[in-house]
Amino acid sequence: MEKQAIEHLIIPILEAHQLILSELKWDQEGSMRILQVSIMREDGSMDLDTCANISQVLNPLLDESPLSQETYVLEVSSPGAERELKTVKERLHAVGAYVKIRFHHPIDKSLEYTGTLMTYDGVEGVLMVSIKSARKKIVFEENNIAKMNLAVKI
């Protein structure tokens, strides 16, 4: 069964529980095929109980679909503390958060910075970084972002 068809089945259930599908992918561990469903709330949070509850709701639904002909394990989880921010909407929600950005083209001789996303409007943004105890604003454009992830401050 194709990912789009699976998404079509599960997104209404997630929306009914006020959840967002962050990622859906197939993984393989040895001979075991795993359907990984990453979910989160609108604010990016998630908890183990919600993952378990959604897994119990999705299992019978998927068992009644064409997936019932396949052997797989369903894994429902959070997208993680350092998840990739793929869409403009996810990046807009990350304003104020600690992020890591990799660029296509260097800014001040570097392709990667980690800092606080101060502003972002979908076209341009400002990242506040600390370089050798000095704080510096890095101004960047959306089309220069190769990858943006939430980061954990240590």
Question: What's the pLDDT tens digit per position in 29-38?
Answer: 999 999 999 9
Residue 45 has a pLDDT of 85
Average pLDDT rounded to a whole number, residues 14-20: 95
CB distance 138 to 113 below 8 Å:
yes
Average pLDDT over residues 41-47: 86
pLDDT at 1 over 80: no
The token duo for 100 is 């890591």
pLDDT value at 127 more than 90: yes
Q: What is the pLDDT of residues 99-114, one digit of tens each?
A: 999 999 999 999 999 9
pTM: 0.74
Domains within the chain, CATH numbers bracketed: 3-77 (3.30.300.70), 88-150 (2.30.30.180)
